[in-house]
């Protein structure tokens, strides 16, 4: 009787597995909740947290490369202290300066900038592609940046996802869900 019961449970589990997978997909991608330097946030479970090489990087994650890309992307939460790190325009100008456009246009002219409120936090998001040159790094063509400046009590906080264009395109829905799930620390 024990063997039949175990076999029946295994058959039921096999039959339910596809249904559970569909339900999980409908409910949204799996995320892991975090809190660092103030805000609470959720990143996709497939973005593992990695050690940050400096103290201003409050949290850092590896964004797995898209098929065909040579390297992974990264998501970094920068925090310089309350009321530190510069204003929105200053940071956007710095990020634009890290990109050049193949047609020579100013990066500011091709960037997509949006603003919104998320649970009382003022959020400015920028999306830009081009040749990326990190501080002291070699130019990396066909890269993309998704970045957010989050202003609120105890902030600002600076999110920066950068990497090969296809990798960041694949990561964009997870980045947007992360921003939409931000919660101020009470």
Per-domain residue ranges for the chain? 29-180
pTM of this prediction? Answer: 0.80
Q: Is 163 left (phi over 0), alpha (psi -120 to 50) or beta?
A: left
Q: What is the pLDDT of residues 149-180, one digit of tens each?
A: 999 999 999 999 999 999 999 999 999 999 99
Using pLDDT thresholds of 50, 70 and 90, give the confidence band for residue 39: confident
Could you please state the CATH topology (level 3) that the domain comprising 29-180 is classified under.
Answer: Protein Transport Mog1p; Chain A (3.40.1000)
CA atoms 83, 177, 130, 78: torsion sign: positive
């Amino acid at each position: 009787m024990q063997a039949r019961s175990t076999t029946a449970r295994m058959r039921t589990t096999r039959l339910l597995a596809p249904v559970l997978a569909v339900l999980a997909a409908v409910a949204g991608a799996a995320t892991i909740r975090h809190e660092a330097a103030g805000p609470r946030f959720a990143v996709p479970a497939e973005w593992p947290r990695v050690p940050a090489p400096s103290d201003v990087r409050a949290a850092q994650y590896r964004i797995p490369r898209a098929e065909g890309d040579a390297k992974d992307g990264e998501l970094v939460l920068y925090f310089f202290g309350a009321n530190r790190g510069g204003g929105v325009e200053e940071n956007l100008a710095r990020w634009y300066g890290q990109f050049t456009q193949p047609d020579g246009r100013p990066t500011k002219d091709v960037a997509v900038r949006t603003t919104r409120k998320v649970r009382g936090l003022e959020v400015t998001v920028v999306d830009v592609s081009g040749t990326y040159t990190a501080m002291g790094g070699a130019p990396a063509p066909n890269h993309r940046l998704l970045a957010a400046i989050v202003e609120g009590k105890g902030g600002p906080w600076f999110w920066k996802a950068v990497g090969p264009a296809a990798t960041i395109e694949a990561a964009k829905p997870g980045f947007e869900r992360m921003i939409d799930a931000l919660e101020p620390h009470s």
